[in-house]
Amino acid sequence: MTDEPLERLRVAVRRTRELALNRGATGLGHEEADDNVGTFGTDNALEFDPFPLLEALHRSGVRVVVIGQVAGIMHGSAELTGDLDLLWDGSPAHAPALAAAFTSVNAQLTGETGRPLAIHPRSFLCPKVQFTSPGASGDCCTPALPWGNLQVRECLDRAGTTVGPGGLEVHYVSREDLIQMRRALGRPKDLRRADELDSSASEHRG
């Protein structure tokens, strides 16, 4: 319950934006990310700032868990990213507050086929929706989304929590579950990042 994971994220966000600005625009978006480089190589990295959405989710009262490379950074990964992936319990009772949080940051939603969706509670009940907001884009998933043999709902219970200045609480998937998620996806970037997390965990235990 310390701010260390969030401080890692703050440093990574600053570094991401600096490097992306020096590189310039690529013309690529979140959905066109390379399976090796990831969204750091897209234009989503130019203005990447997940904190406004994380703060809105905290205020909503819905327990939303950070997954993907933002969670990896919070666990100490050195690789940068340009997107924010999220997991929540998919409960219809929590969907209105979740929709209100995304509305507050002027987000837009699309389905898995790229079809625009209204920011309405029922839209978030899909296994996965893609969102775009001024600071962060990514996927918002429920446990209904398949992850190989991993029981995703249990990942919500095992997630850690860190508290930052002003009482900001951010929940993020455990290192072990993130490694399993990475290996289930199997893309080059996922396998590389799973190996990195595995290696750092072994060094810590050693």
The length of the chain, given as a count of residues: 206
Residue written as token pair 């992850």: 147
Query: What is the residue-wise DSSP string for 140-193?
Result: EE-TTS--TT--HHHHHHH-EEEE-GGG-EEEE--HHHHHHHHHHH--HHHHHH
Residue with tokens 């998919």: 90
Residue 73 phi, psi dihedral angles, 5° rounding: -60, -40
Instruction: List Cβ neighbours of 32 (8 Å cut-off, separation of 6 or more).
Output: 42
Give the integer Cα–Cα distance in Å for 29 and 74. Answer: 23
To the question of pTM greater than 0.75 for the whole model, the response is yes
Rg (CA), the chain: 16
CA distances (Å), 21 to each of 8, 40, 52, in order?
Answer: 20, 11, 20
> Which DSSP symbol is given to 39?
G
- d(CA 101, CA 94) in angstroms, rounded, equals 11
Per-residue pLDDT of the chain (206 residues; tens, 9 = 90+): 458 999 999 999 999 999 999 998 999 888 889 999 999 999 999 999 999 999 999 999 999 999 999 999 999 999 999 999 999 999 999 999 999 999 999 999 999 888 999 999 999 999 999 999 999 999 999 999 999 899 999 999 999 999 998 899 999 999 999 999 999 999 999 999 999 999 976 555 44
- Are 162 and 6 contacting, i.e. CB atoms less than 8 angstroms apart? yes
The domain segmentation of the chain, as residue ranges, is 4-174
Architecture (CATH level 2) of domain 4-174: 2-Layer Sandwich (3.30)
